């Protein structure tokens, strides 16, 4: 049986849908489980029961400081070893993302996965096209961003979910492999052309000030988001790889369209 962690999250829920469409035996695990899901709370080791699981899709438990994220991942990997899981598929971060403020937890987890003794596959996911669109500031008459003229090899979340399902459905074929799952680079200029709107580039300092003034963000998030803007702006996230197309054996979703579609929901 396949178990996908973070089942109520967007990537995990899409992965479970993809597995169901492939008639793969799969179940979701979550801190707040729904019908048919297992309760898995990475901060509560007592709940980490992986009995009967052959393949674990470990969706990164981000949205916390590095030490907490790594501790969560270590706990679930220890449970996987204890309970006889054969293979772990970890959703990591694209290899070009080492400049990002949240890369350390991913690279540390990759080391834990490889040292666990389990069969493993690392999926180094590119940044979501949905995230790129959500990080743009939409005003009444213009679009603002801190990305400048830089490009991002963004990926539609659904494509990454499909790739996770492909690997989890036949893990032995992908054992010991690391895939860099990115799309074709997109730019703010391309989105502006699609939507026929004006665009204003803001400085990184102004962007950081806006983030710091947003009372909804946790302390670790402003530097994390600023690192994304700076990395795109200075050309560090426009890497390409054939891995995702080869895994899916189909054309990728057009990332620029996916990013542009975020406009109605943007704040």
- Residue 17 vs residues 2, 6, 62, 158: alpha-carbon distances, Å: 13, 13, 22, 10
Say what the pTM is: 0.95
Is residue 29 within 8 Å of residue 38, measured between CB atoms? Answer: yes
pLDDT score of 49: 94
How many C-alpha atoms does 225 have within 13 Å on its Cβ side?
A: 23
The answer to whether 194 and 257 have CB atoms below 8 angstroms apart is yes
Residue indicated by tokens 């990002």: 100
As a whole number, mean pLDDT of residues 151-171 equals 98
pLDDT at 266: 45
* The pLDDT of residue 171: 97
**What contacts 85, CB < 8 A, 6 or more positions away?**
50, 53, 54, 55, 56, 118
**Domains parsed from the chain with CATH numbers:** 2-265 (3.40.50.720)
Predicted local confidence at residue 196, as pLDDT: 86
Which pLDDT band, with edges at 50, 70 and 90, does 264 fall under? low
pLDDT(64) > 90: no
Q: What is the DSSP string of 135-204?
A: TSEE-SSEEEES-TT-EE--B-HHHHHHHHHHHHHSGGGGTTEEEEE----EEHHHHHHHHT-EEEE--H
Report the C-alpha gap between 145 and 120 in whole angstroms.
Answer: 38
Length, in residues, of the chain? 267
pLDDT the model gives residue 263: 77
Mean pLDDT across the stretch 13-19?
Answer: 97
Look at residues 147, 160, 161 and name the one whose alpha carbon lies nearest to residue 190: 147
Q: Is the pLDDT confidence value at 76 over 70?
A: yes
Residue 62 confidence class, pLDDT cut points 50, 70, 90: confident
State the average pLDDT for the chain.
Answer: 94
- Short-list 132, 150, 256, CA closest to 195: 256
- For 50-71, what is the mean pLDDT? 94
pLDDT digits (tens, 9 = 90+) for 210-257: 999 998 999 999 999 999 999 999 999 999 999 999 999 999 999 999
């Amino acid at each position: 049986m396949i178990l996908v962690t973070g089942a109520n999250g967007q990537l995990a829920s899409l992965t479970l849908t993809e597995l169901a469409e492939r008639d793969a035996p799969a179940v979701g695990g979550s801190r707040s489980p729904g019908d048919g899901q297992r309760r898995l709370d990475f901060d509560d080791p007592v709940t980490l029961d992986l009995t009967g699981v052959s393949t674990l899709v470990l969706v990164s438990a981000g949205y916390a400081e590095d030490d907490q994220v790594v501790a969560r991942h270590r706990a679930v990997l220890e449970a996987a070893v204890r309970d006889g899981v054969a293979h772990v598929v970890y959703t990591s971060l694209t290899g070009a993302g080492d400049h990002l403020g949240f890369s350390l937890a991913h690279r540390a987890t990759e080391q834990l996965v490889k040292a666990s003794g389990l069969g493993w596959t690392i999926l180094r996911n590119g940044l979501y096209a949905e995230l790129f669109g959500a990080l743009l500031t939409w005003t009444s008459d213009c679009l603002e961003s801190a990305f400048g003229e830089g490009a991002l090899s963004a990926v539609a979340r659904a494509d990454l979910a499909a790739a996770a399902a492909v690997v989890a459905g036949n893990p032995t074929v992908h054992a010991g492999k690391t895939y860099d799952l990115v799309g074709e680079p997109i730019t703010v200029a391309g989105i502006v052309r699609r939507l026929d709107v004006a665009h204003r580039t803001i400085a990184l300092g102004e962007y950081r000030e806006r983030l710091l003034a947003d009372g909804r963000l946790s302390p670790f998030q402003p530097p994390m988001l600023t690192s994304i803007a700076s990395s795109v702006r200075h050309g560090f996230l426009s890497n390409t790889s054939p891995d995702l197309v080869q895994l899916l054996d189909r054309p990728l979703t057009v990332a620029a369209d996916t990013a542009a579609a975020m406009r109605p929901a943007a704040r």
